[in-house]
Amino acid sequence: MFRLVLLGPPGAGKGTQAVKIAEKYQIPHISTGDIFRKNVKEGTPLGKKAKEYMDKGELVPDKLVVELVTDRLDAADCKNGFLLDGFPRTVFQAEKLDQYLEVKGIALDKVIDISGDEEVLLERMIGRRVCRACGAPYHIKNMPPKEEGICDICGGEVYQRADDTEETVRNRFQVYQKQTMPLIAYYEKLANIIHIQSAGSPDTVFASIISVLGV
Ligand code: ADP
Ligand code: ZN
């Protein structure tokens, strides 16, 4: 059983690793980015508010995020652990999370910080494309679809996420440096943070994560 947080700059592959970790340790994968994107797609009031910030690469206001996550952590499937992906992202969110866990008498087991070279991550993200229908990921240079703009798997439209344009990606990095990087020092003090390099294939990165977590 693990209570985990995944931390890292945009494009470091948190989502990819999160899916693998959640599967291996049989814990729910809670991605605030995914929750917001789902709300945007469904046009909910939360989605409408979140979209304004997301499209610019800004963070959604803390107030809207914290309650969403703590409500999710109250669900029965989080009793035996959870993996938070993309939360906390500010020191305020981390403090709120700590308060929540303290009241419940539980604590985080590990914070996994995946880091990478900014220029490499930028290149990765600006070239990133995704199928609108099935979500399959592509990359214009490294993994283009066989036919431009068309998904190999389902024939759906391959497009660029509004927050993957160069301008927005550069802003997301600045936001990460200003608002999320301070969390590394915050968790360093609690002595339960591990650092993983995002260079290498997803399988290599996953191997280093499980070697630290064990079993
Ligand atoms: P990435 O880590 O690649 O930037 P995510 O999918 O985690 O992408 O997040 C996408 C966007 O959703 C963020 O740029 C931000 O606007 C919003 N978001 C996600 N998680 C949070 C959070 N914990 N606090 C504030 N905004 C968030
Ligand atoms: Zn598809």
Give Cα separations from 173 to 11, 31, 46, 170 (angstroms).
10, 19, 24, 5
How do residues 16-27 score in pLDDT, each as one tens digit? Answer: 899 999 999 999
Q: What rounded mean pLDDT belongs to the chain?
A: 93
Q: What is the pLDDT of residue 200?
A: 82
Position 215 pLDDT exceeds 80: no
Ligand 1 atom nearest the C-alpha of 33 is 6
How many whole angstroms from 137 Cα to the centroid of ligand 2?
9
Q: Tens digits of per-residue pLDDT, 77-91?
A: 999 999 999 999 999
pLDDT of residue 3: 96
The one-character DSSP state at 11 is T
Question: Domains in the chain: how many in total?
Answer: 1
36 lines ligand 1 (CB under 6 A): yes
- Please give the pLDDT value at position 13: 85
> Per the domain annotation, does 106 fall within a domain?
yes
- The band of 173, judged by pLDDT with boundaries at 50, 70 and 90, is very high
What contacts 122, CB < 8 A, 6 or more positions away? Answer: 11, 166, 169, 170, 173
Does a structural domain hold residue 57?
A: no
- Residue 105 DSSP class: T
> What is the token pair recorded at 174?
């600045």
Instruction: Examine residue 34 and state whether it is found in any structural domain, yes or no.
Output: no
| 191, pLDDT greater than 80 | no
pTM of the predicted model as reported, rounded to 2 decimal places: 0.89
Residue recorded with tokens 């009241």: 103
Domain membership of residue 164 as a residue range: 2-28+75-213
In this prediction, residue 202 has a pLDDT band, given cuts at 50, 70 and 90, of confident
6 within domain boundaries: yes
How high is the pLDDT of residue 59? 96
Percentage of the chain lying above the pLDDT 70 cut: 99
Task: State yes or no: pLDDT of 40 exceeds 80.
Answer: yes
SS3 83: strand
Q: Could you tell me if residue 49 is inside a domain?
A: no
User: Is the pLDDT confidence value at 28 over 80?
Assistant: yes
DSSP string, 157-201: BEE--GGGSHHHHHHHHHHIIIIITHHHHHHHHHT-EEEEE--S-
Three-state DSSP class for residue 7: strand
Residue 179 lies in a domain: yes
Q: Does residue 189 surpass a pLDDT of 90?
A: no
Cα 51 to Cα 39: distance, rounded to the nearest angstrom: 9
Ramachandran class of 42: left when φ > 0, alpha when ψ lies in -120 to 50, beta otherwise: alpha
Q: What single string gives the DSSP state of each residue in 34-67?
A: HHHHHHHHHT-HHHHHHHHHHHHTPPPPHHHHHH
124-149 pLDDT per residue, tens:
889 999 999 988 889 999 899 999 99
Q: Is residue 89 part of a domain?
A: yes
Average pLDDT over residues 111-122: 91
Q: What's the pLDDT score for residue 15?
A: 86
Cβ atoms of residues 159 and 174 within 8 Å: no
Looking at the domain assignment, is residue 120 inside a domain? yes
Q: What atom of ligand 1 comes closest to residue 53's alpha carbon? A: 16
- Cα 133 to ligand 2 centre (Å): 5
* 155 C-alpha to ligand 2 centroid (Å): 6
Q: Is residue 60 within 6 Å of ligand 1 at its C-beta?
A: yes
Q: Is 10 in the pocket of ligand 1 (CB under 6 A)?
A: yes
Nearest ligand to the CA atom of 36:
1
Ligand 1 in reach of 12 Cβ (< 6 A): no
What's residue 198's pLDDT?
87
What CATH number should be reported for the domain holding residue 164? 3.40.50.300
